Structure 1
Amino acid sequence: MEIAITPHPDDVLVLSITGSVDSLNADQLTSAFALPIGEGRQRLVADFAQVNYTSSAGLRSLLITVKECRRAGGDLRLAALQPQVERVLSIAGFTAILKVYTDVPSAVASFGDAD
């Protein structure tokens, strides 16, 4: 798994994730999300366009992150989910917890909208 972080306007950070998210690397993802939150940047978008699989460990990482973001006054938004990943999130009930967008620009722009 690889993670690239790109800043966007309105203090939004996009974390572009490539590969599978599983028990071997979910802690790496949690740490990548935790770093900006610890620095006071809690408007995060997870770009899942290149994620082809997530396990329950990946779901746990997302849950930890969204709780921390919201506790700090921000949010975690998901963008560009692959169908198989969206299916896992939906079955686990995560699509009711997290805001999901079809692409990164929509997810970034959503922070300018009234929640």
Structure 2
Amino acid sequence: MPAQTVRDLSITATIQRGIVIAQIDGTIDSVSSDELLLKLRTAIANGHVRIVGDMSGVQHTSSVGLRALLGAVKAARRSGGDLRLARVPPSLEKVLEMSGFTTIFRLYDDVDSALASYDA
């Protein structure tokens, strides 16, 4: 899957062991969140319901960005899959904790751990 860039957001998706790894870089805000949600929902609609979001390159997310991630995880779970987040920067993890999203998302230190969690 080719990289897509919207303003200050780049999304590169690859497939490993049948799981989509979405490398997300930049800022997830009101301008870019729609593209992120569209990309993830398209993967889900195409049968790729197991997704790992590599968040290591995310510099900032707004509340609209959090809603986009929430929409994606709900869509994946409705389809029998999940969206798991890996390599979450400390600043983003703090936002996820303060908003209560750490009870919704499964967070992993690295992509390999997130991939392996689908086998457990």
Short-chain TM bin: over 0.9
> Which residue does 1:62 correspond to in 2?
69
> Which residue does 1:81 correspond to in 2?
88
1:8-47 matched pairs, under 5 angstroms: 8-9=16-17, 11-47=18-54
CA-atom RMSD, angstroms?
A: 0.6
Q: Is 1:107 equivalent to 2:114 in the alignment?
A: yes
SS at match of 1:41: coil
Per the normalisation by structure 2, the TM-score is: 0.91
Once the two structures are superposed, what CA deviation does each residue of 1:72-96 show, in whole Å capped at 9, x if it has no partner? Answer: 0000000001111110011000011
User: Which residue identity lines up with residue 15 of structure 2 in the other structure?
Assistant: P
Distance, in Å, in 1 between the alignment partners of 2:42 and 2:67 is 17
> Which residue does 2:100 correspond to in 1?
93
Distance, in Å, in 2 between the alignment partners of 1:89 and 1:24 is 20
Distance, in Å, in 1 between the alignment partners of 2:77 and 2:70 is 11
SS at match of 1:13: strand
Shift of 1:26: 0.3
SS at match of 1:81: coil
Once the two structures are superposed, what CA deviation does each residue of 1:38-87 show, in whole Å capped at 9, x if it has no partner? Answer: 11110001000010111111110111011111110000000001111110
Distance, in Å, in 2 between the alignment partners of 1:53 and 1:64 is 18
> Which residue does 2:11 correspond to in 1?
3
Q: Percent identity?
A: 43
Structure 1 unmatched runs, 5+:
none
